[in-house]
Amino acid sequence: MSRKIRMGMVGGGQGSAIGKVHRMAAALDGQIELVCGAFSSDPRRSKASGAELYLPADRVYDSYAEMLERERRRPEGDRMDFVVIVTPNHLHYAPAAAALKAGFHVMCDKPMTFSLAEARKLKTLVDRTGLLFGLTHNYTGYPMVKEARELARGGKLGAIRKIVVEYPQGWLHELIEATGQKQAAWRTDPARSGAAGCMGDIGTHAESLAEYITGLRIDSLCAELTTFVKGRKLDDDGNVLIRYQGGARGILHASQIAIDEENGLNIRIWGEKGGLQWRQEEPNTLILKRPDGPRQLIRSGQGYLSRRARRACRLPAGHPEGFIEAFANLYCNYAEALGARLAGRKPDPLALDFPTVDDGVRGMAFIEAVVKSARAGAKWVKMAE
Ligand code: NAD
């Protein structure tokens, strides 16, 4: 490639939570430039957001439909290459499907869609168009998560027996949606969030992290969802027992009423020969547990790491790398995969290491199975393939 990859953004305007993180992550390695956007459902806000980012006024659009149409008509050497979607969950499918139909590659935030049915339709469209689809389950971007994957999938732990993964947060312990808090308002609204609240918002991160590291797929699960805060319409807490294919067992809990918890994503895995632990709030350390000696601390930036993990480090050991860098690792791989396609060459196989539409379908199947089980009084249900 003799140029940067061009990104258009849907959502992520002024006052949004994750739009800015996407822009920082996409820009970090100098491979991607933001060229246009439809940043809000309100055209005035979209314009103001684009102006703040110094985008030319004629590339800040009133709607994603206008953006797709006008970008499609620009010369090939000038139009955007891919669209990133950072709107609330109920507004993922329509822009993603429209972008694919218009011939644009897509990056989308999680959960991938509003429902499993939409997720399956999107997968059909991705398969049919052959376009590149990435999903920002960003916790899979941390170097120590990649090292955990190499160790777990490489047999270091032996056959995996048990996975305990939790994602506690405390920010929804009161009815803050009633105060107009924007991020809380749509996340707790079944018409905009989907069938689950907390379990869809952060439970899916825990589900995807466990699968990314171990490669194990959920066979069936038994779930309880609770709404603790009076007046709230969706779950703000959930506990799930999991049976993985192959026999491993799991416990997954997610909560948004766990006072004082920030982003306490924490995973512990035990196999026949050892165990692993990784905590998002201490992301540069991975703990390896052995039956015959003291635990070992594996650290980001070190030369002894696997190629997959080293490739995801940018700084020498001891200089903290964090959330933005891990997020950027998804964009970095996506850019390498897309750049290779556009240049007609084969990508580095490790660049294909980012979540895809298949992960998105499983995330939605997880949400649907959890809700079905909880509604049936915590019955065991099979997770759809
Ligand atoms: P938010 O409410 O803060 O921002 C949503 C943005 O979308 C706003 O700028 C809004 O104006 C815009 N928008 C709404 N309708 C639109 C439309 N029709 N066209 C264009 N723009 C429109 O939401 P958020 O908290 O940033 O979440 C956005 C998405 O990102 C959600 O799917 C959420 O689950 C996901 N998210 C992911 C992570 C992560 O760690 N990967 C973190 C936070 C949020």
Domains for the chain: give ranges and CATH numbers. 5-135 (3.40.50.720), 140-317+362-382 (3.30.360.10)
The closest-lying atom of ligand 1 relative to the alpha carbon of residue 64 is 19
DSSP-derived secondary structure for 364-375: HHHHHHHHHHHH
Distance CA 48, CA 100 (A): 27
12 lines ligand 1 (CB under 6 A): yes
User: 342 burial class (0-12, 13-18, 19+ CB within 10 angstroms)?
Assistant: middle
Distance CA 215, CA 130 (A): 24
Provide the whole-model pTM: 0.98
Taking the centre of ligand 1 as the mean of its atom positions, its distance from the CA of residue 287, in whole angstroms, is 34
Distance CA 146, CA 323 (A): 14
Residue 269 near residue 162 (C-beta atoms within 8 A): yes
Token code pair at residue 159:
């056959």
Average pLDDT, stretch 149-159?
A: 98
Tokens 């590659």 -> residue = 105
Average pLDDT, stretch 290-308?
A: 97
Question: C-alpha dihedral over 186, 382, 203, 82, to 10 degrees?
Answer: -70
Q: What is the pLDDT of residues 66-93, one digit of tens each?
A: 999 999 999 988 999 999 999 999 999 9
The closest-lying atom of ligand 1 relative to the alpha carbon of residue 182 is 2
Take atom 12 of ligand 1 and give the residue whose Cα is closest: 11
Percent of the chain past pLDDT 90, that is, above it, reads 98
- Assign 207 to helix, strand or coil: helix
Q: What is the pLDDT of residues 155-176, one digit of tens each?
A: 999 999 999 999 999 999 999 9
Q: What share of the chain is helix, strand, coil (3-state, %, to 5)?
A: 40, 20, 40
The closest-lying atom of ligand 1 relative to the alpha carbon of residue 201 is 34
134 lines ligand 1 (CB under 6 A): no
H/E stretch holding 11 reads strand 5-11
86 lines ligand 1 (CB under 6 A): yes
